[in-house]
A and B are shown apart, each in its own frame.
Chain A
Amino acid sequence: MKKQEILQELRERFKDEIVDFFEKSPKRVYIEIKPEAIVKIANCVFKEFGARFNIASGVDARFHMEILYHFTFDEIDLTLSIRTKLDKAKKLEIDSIANIIKGADWIEREIREMLGIDFKGHPNPKRLLLSDDWPEGVYPLRRDYKEWDKGAIRDRGAD
């Protein structure tokens, strides 16, 4: 499939779910979608269009939590980043795509620990990276993160 065909089809099929469409450069396209549509769109992109799932990255922005799902179409050299914004005022949760894409299993667990976003329906929602004595509800990549373990020795540089 050509690049324009893919983008056109996405636009038509998900015209109610796509909020924003942005072609940054010939190789990079960003689309913003409504969070509830992620499973549907991920399924379409991964299973039907045959894209490869690179990774997801979570960002703590000022008013919302952002998750970017990066997909790559290797044959046509296009990286498609699907952006979802979760309102911080509401409960932070989104449907898990790990049931469709096995490669998304770990990264969803990582985002859950780092940013406190719940992935509904994740097959194995165990802790992945943080140690066992790390308290629940403390998320290190959030903007308001404060060091909780006063006894820990950290490298503080010269002082």
Chain B
Amino acid sequence: MGKTIVPIGPYHPLQEEPEFFSLTVEGEKVVDVDVQIGYNHRGIEKLSETKTFDQVPFVVERICGICSTSHPFAYVRAVEDIIGVEVPQRAQYIRVIIAEGERIHSHLLWLGLAGHFLGYNTVFMWAWKIREEILDVMEILSGNRNNYAMFKPGGVRRDIKKEDIPTVIKKIDSIPPTLEMLKKAVMDDPVLHSRTKGVGVLTKEEAINYCALGPVARASGVAKDIRKDSPYEVYDKIPWDMIVTQNGDVFDKLVVRVLETFESIKIMKYCLLNLPDGEIDLKLKNIPAGEGIGRIEAPRGECFHYVKSDGTNSPARHKIRAPTFMNLPTYKATIVGETISDATIILAAADPCYCCTERISVRNTKGNKIYSGEDLVRLSQEKTEKIREKIK
């Protein structure tokens, strides 16, 4: 049978890694995949060297539109690691609140889009409706629905007002019941089971070998979460559970994210109720020469920043490693052997970025047939429809 190359991509302007996949297929089956990134390389590491330590958080905040807090968070932790200071208690709690709020909206966004790719637009609508609540909460707390600009080396920029807390808690409390309903509907659905169970499996060995991170690794039974392994800020004082599942397929990645959302709500509420009084900023003056590492658990996995200072007021070197950089190569292990109609959901399961999956173009070199991104999503949705018919 003749092989066909299926190009997916090339570019997606929202997240840090625009990508281009070329799938080699035999008939319906994917036999090889090659990933190419760099279409939107912005040279942020270089740019960062020209900014002062206080300006860098604003630069790195713009790396990613969805997890915009993760990068400033990791960066300020790296700078504080150079000096060797801990920020005040109140600032630590506020940091955790913002980071968890972001995790909730990021996971819900993923859930909605995953539903859309599978032809479950109801899931998409519900998930994004719930997400709207959390975006409102973030607006109350930080003044912005996204790009919160809350972090600075030595503390946070903005305090949480006491009178806002009851409103925020009321809004947060409204999320779990709806999410519970959605969770039951999603997890008990036989069609969804047959579309996602056993599809795109990442084994534990491969997850370790590829150094996979976050929900991708935890769905494969690798119990690693920076919040538990290397508790930063106040994560060791808060009661919460790490979610780990064993199968490594798309279904498990979905389960991990949904259950993690509940944990994040728990953490966020605990922090709001136990917010201590006090300062929110250390008012750092000079950053001494030295090097520091900041590691935090972003919604997609560990975010790693390495900052080297030479005693001047801007970083001498700033290395940024986003979680997707490690998660993306796992496609090689998950997609080979699957069908094209499953490609969209497998690619989406690692939670990379969505525009690229929507911009898929499929070129059948033998038959001169060109599929668009919509066609691929349609293929995926039709498969769901067929299974639905069968089950009836």
Q: Contact residues of A with B, CB < 8 Å?
A: 25, 27-28, 52-55, 57, 59-60, 68, 70, 72, 74-75, 77, 79, 81, 101-107, 114, 126-131, 140-141
Contact = CB atoms under 8 A, between A and B. Distances in A.
Interface centre among B43, B45, B230 (most CB of A within 10 A): B230
Interface string B312-326: 000011010100011
Given A54-B321, A140-B43, A141-B45, A103 B38 contact: no
Contacts of B295: 54, 72, 79
Nearest to B47: A155
A101 B209 contact: yes
Contacts, number: 79
A131 B38 contact: yes
Interface of B: 36-38, 41, 43, 45-46, 81, 84, 208-212, 224, 229-230, 293, 295, 302, 304, 306, 308, 316-317, 319, 321, 325-326, 328-329
Contacts of A114: 45
A129 B210 contact: no
Q: Is the interface of B mostly helix, strand, loop or mixed?
A: mixed
Contacts of A59: 308, 316-317
Given A52-B224, A75-B229, A106-B325, A129 B304 contact: no
Given A54-B295, A59-B317, 18 more contacts: A28-B81, A28-B293, A54-B302, A54-B304, A55-B321, A57-B306, A57-B319, A68-B306, A72-B230, A74-B224, A77-B230, A101-B209, A102-B209, A102-B211, A103-B210, A128-B37, A129-B37, A140-B43
A55 B319 contact: yes
Contacts of A128: 36-38
Contacts of B306: 55, 57, 68, 70
B123 to A, nearest CB: 32
Contacts of A129: 37-38, 41
